Structure 1
Amino acid sequence: MKFYLLLFLFPFMALAQSNLIEVEALLKQQQFKKAEQFVSYYLKTHPNNLKAIELLGDAYGHQKKWDDAIIQYKKLIKYKESDANYHYKYGGALAMKVLSISKLKALGIIGDVKEAFLKAAELDKNHIDTRWALVELYMQLPGILGGSKSKSLYYAQELEALSKVDGYLAKGYVYEYDDEPELAETYYKMAIKEGESVTCYNKLTNFYKNEEEPEKAIETIEAAHRKHQRNAMHYQIGKVAAEYNIELQKGEQCLHTYLENYSAEDGVPKAWAHYRLAQIHMHKKNKQEALKYIELAIAELPKIEPFKEQKEKILGL
């Protein structure tokens, strides 16, 4: 009897799983509103499905509907308090809400944020994202609200025990935030040596840009390109050259290479490469060339304000 019952239920179970897979696909495609509508409808007939509740929270979060996301993640904790990831997502939604409200209102939420992240860390000794959240939280909080560099470093050390790359990047972040650039640079370089990922190179590149050292930023991007051979890095070199008015010939050449090899996977629309070329030609006092490229940028993305502002600057040459 039980066997026949399982056979009867299996198509419905499979259908439910299929529906949730479709929601996950919509989230990956950044169709967040559609994912929200789809999973909300699904939950009308499956109100206790934890995966569906989580996906609805995710859909809300991607749309910055923090209060709605908080409600869904809180439900998950109520159903399964032992799940570290539920506490992590709940804490993350609370933290994002803190950033969107006044400091006075935020005071009443900070404690809940810390409690959620600490609970997640306690439940899962290997939860890397939670430890990253704690590193950033304790660095960004004022001392009067519990901010602490030593606590940040404590969780950075826990990260290092789990993943040397994450630990080095976390320590680089702590020291950069605390205005200790030499130590920050050391740890970002250690992360590159250990992991050699695009993320590691990007952290060091952005550090150099923040430190107003564009030459070193370009050197780092070039090293990343030698390792990973990604067309997007040509754009990054051109961007730094245009923004800082350095190595203009190299920047121009890289932007042309980016445009010649462009694909949607590169991420940055071609219009932005034309915008950077306009900046470079403006630095060179080539008014006509600068106008040519800024017109191309505006034709492709007519609503981008920096493009219009750049055109006014070029016309003023």
Structure 2
Amino acid sequence: MKHFLFLLVFIKLSVCGAQSTEVDVNQLIERKKYVQAETELLKEIQVTADKDTKDRLGEVYGYQGKWDDAIAIYKELTEAYPQVADYAFKYGGVLAKKAQNSNKFKALTLVGRIKENFKKAATLDSSSIKVHWALVDLYITLPGILGGSTSKAFDYAKKLKSISPIDGYLAMGYVHEYDEESEKAKQDYLYALSLIGDLGNIERNQLHYQIGKICGEYGLKLDEGVYHMGQYIKNYTPLDGVPLKWAYFRMAKLYRKKKDKPNAQKWIAKALYIDIELEPALEEQKKIKAMDTLGS
């Protein structure tokens, strides 16, 4: 299965407790010390097995890529609290990450539960941005024989537009891009770019990636693009849908278009260090090498 771009949008520190132990866990998560956070949460569960502690433990498992452990947590939570949309969404999300990191046969066995939980989350919370993104991505990613459908993906993208215009236009551009309708994709992406000024604090890291990607692709608002891609890289965890090698590649492209050859070289080297066979990065490296000493 292809990597999912947006379906995992856990919000860090979603539970802010008053007890000192909880504050310590918050700090550990913020500093990406997930092993220590897991240890502290397991201690808490021995004392009080409340749903919020389990939820945070599930997230910490996810940050570490411990998909089986995270699946067990969210399976339990969805069964105990079937009306909580967030648990259904997270259960579908960790199942999807398990599928992404498994062989094709194993991935196929998980598709039904992934769809079931995302659809359930959408029914329980029809205004959720992250759930609609998950469904857009799911229907784009799945092959048709397993229920994939660009028309269904576009329907969810249009619903998303009514909830969050910038997300809706990004999602519609994503569907058009997948369908190789480049002009329609460009129109949607550029309209989304025009809405950046309306954004407040961005909690969903994937939005930083998309903004940076569009800026680089179309050579617009390059400084903003560098900022947003930098935020994506800074805040990245394994729960984010797009691997770091792609963010490094996008950052290199942004700097090339800014005519900054040294930074472009630095970022493309980071991308290729992770994946020496990443074809778009190899092509970008050629373009960077072709820049003259002034970076033009």
TM-score between the two structures when normalised by the length of structure 2: 0.69
Paired residue for 1:203, among 189, 205, 213? 213
What is residue 119 of structure 2 aligned with on the other side? 118
What is residue 172 of structure 1 aligned with on the other side? 173
Kindly indicate whether structure 1 or structure 2 has the higher relative contact order, using CA contacts under 8 Å at least 6 residues apart.
2
Q: Does 1:28 align with 2:51?
A: no
One-letter code aligned to 2:260: G
Structural mapping, 1:295-306, within 5 Å: none
Q: Does 1:183 align with 2:184?
A: yes
Give the 3 Å change call, closer, same or farther, for CA 168–38 of structure 1 in structure 2: same
Give the 3 Å change call, closer, same or farther, for CA 32–285 of structure 1 in structure 2: same
Structural mapping, 1:144-183, within 5 Å: 144-183=145-184
* Structure 1 Cα separation of the partners of residues 167 and 111 of structure 2: 25
Quote how far apart the aligned CAs of 1:123 are: 0.2
Quote how far apart the aligned CAs of 1:134 are: 0.4
Quote how far apart the aligned CAs of 1:190 are: 0.7
One-letter code aligned to 1:205: C
Quote how far apart the aligned CAs of 1:229 are: 11
What is residue 76 of structure 1 aligned with on the other side? 77
Quote how far apart the aligned CAs of 1:283 are: 4.8
* Structure 2 Cα separation of the partners of residues 224 and 101 of structure 1: 33
Quote how far apart the aligned CAs of 1:104 are: 1.2
RMSD (Å) for aligned C-alpha atoms: 3.6
CA contact (8 A) 1:205 1:220 kept: yes
One-letter code aligned to 1:177: Y
CA contact (8 A) 1:87 1:116 kept: yes
- Percent of pairs with identical residues: 36
Give the 3 Å change call, closer, same or farther, for CA 204–21 of structure 1 in structure 2: same
One-letter code aligned to 1:124: D
Give the 3 Å change call, closer, same or farther, for CA 52–161 of structure 1 in structure 2: same
CA contact (8 A) 2:215 2:224 kept: no
* Structure 1 Cα separation of the partners of residues 77 and 53 of structure 2: 10
Quote how far apart the aligned CAs of 1:181 are: 1.1
Give the 3 Å change call, closer, same or farther, for CA 26–146 of structure 1 in structure 2: same
Quote how far apart the aligned CAs of 1:201 are: 3.5
* Structure 2 Cα separation of the partners of residues 255 and 174 of structure 1: 31
Deviations, residues 221-260 of structure 1 (Å, cap 9, x unaligned): 15757xx79999xx99983387x7x78xx314x849xxxx
Q: Which runs of no fewer than 5 residues in structure 2 stay unpaired?
A: 1-15, 200-206, 232-247, 274-284
Higher helix proportion, which one? 1
Give the 3 Å change call, closer, same or farther, for CA 67–205 of structure 1 in structure 2: same
* Structure 2 Cα separation of the partners of residues 115 and 175 of structure 1: 25
Q: Does 1:251 align with 2:260?
A: yes
What is residue 313 of structure 1 aligned with on the other side? none
CA contact (8 A) 1:88 1:117 kept: yes
Quote how far apart the aligned CAs of 1:20 are: 2.3
Paired residue for 2:252, among 227, 231, 239? 239
* Structure 2 Cα separation of the partners of residues 69 and 76 of structure 1: 11
* Structure 2 Cα separation of the partners of residues 25 and 81 of structure 1: 30
* Structure 1 Cα separation of the partners of residues 35 and 97 of structure 2: 19
What is residue 42 of structure 1 aligned with on the other side? 44
Deviations, residues 92-127 of structure 1 (Å, cap 9, x unaligned): 000000011111121111000000000000001111
Quote how far apart the aligned CAs of 1:203 are: 3.3
Give the 3 Å change call, closer, same or farther, for CA 238–43 of structure 1 in structure 2: closer
* Structure 2 Cα separation of the partners of residues 158 and 238 of structure 1: 31
CA contact (8 A) 1:91 1:114 kept: yes
Deviations, residues 39-90 of structure 1 (Å, cap 9, x unaligned): 011111112x111101110111011110000011112112211110000000
One-letter code aligned to 1:240: K
One-letter code aligned to 2:60: A
Give the 3 Å change call, closer, same or farther, for CA 157–105 of structure 1 in structure 2: same
One-letter code aligned to 2:119: L
CA contact (8 A) 2:212 2:228 kept: no
3-state DSSP class of the match of 1:183?
A: helix
Structure with bigger gyration radius? 1
Q: Does 1:102 align with 2:103?
A: yes
What is residue 11 of structure 2 aligned with on the other side? none
Give the 3 Å change call, closer, same or farther, for CA 77–192 of structure 1 in structure 2: same
Quote how far apart the aligned CAs of 1:25 are: 2.3
* Structure 2 Cα separation of the partners of residues 46 and 74 of structure 1: 19
3-state DSSP class of the match of 2:195?
A: helix
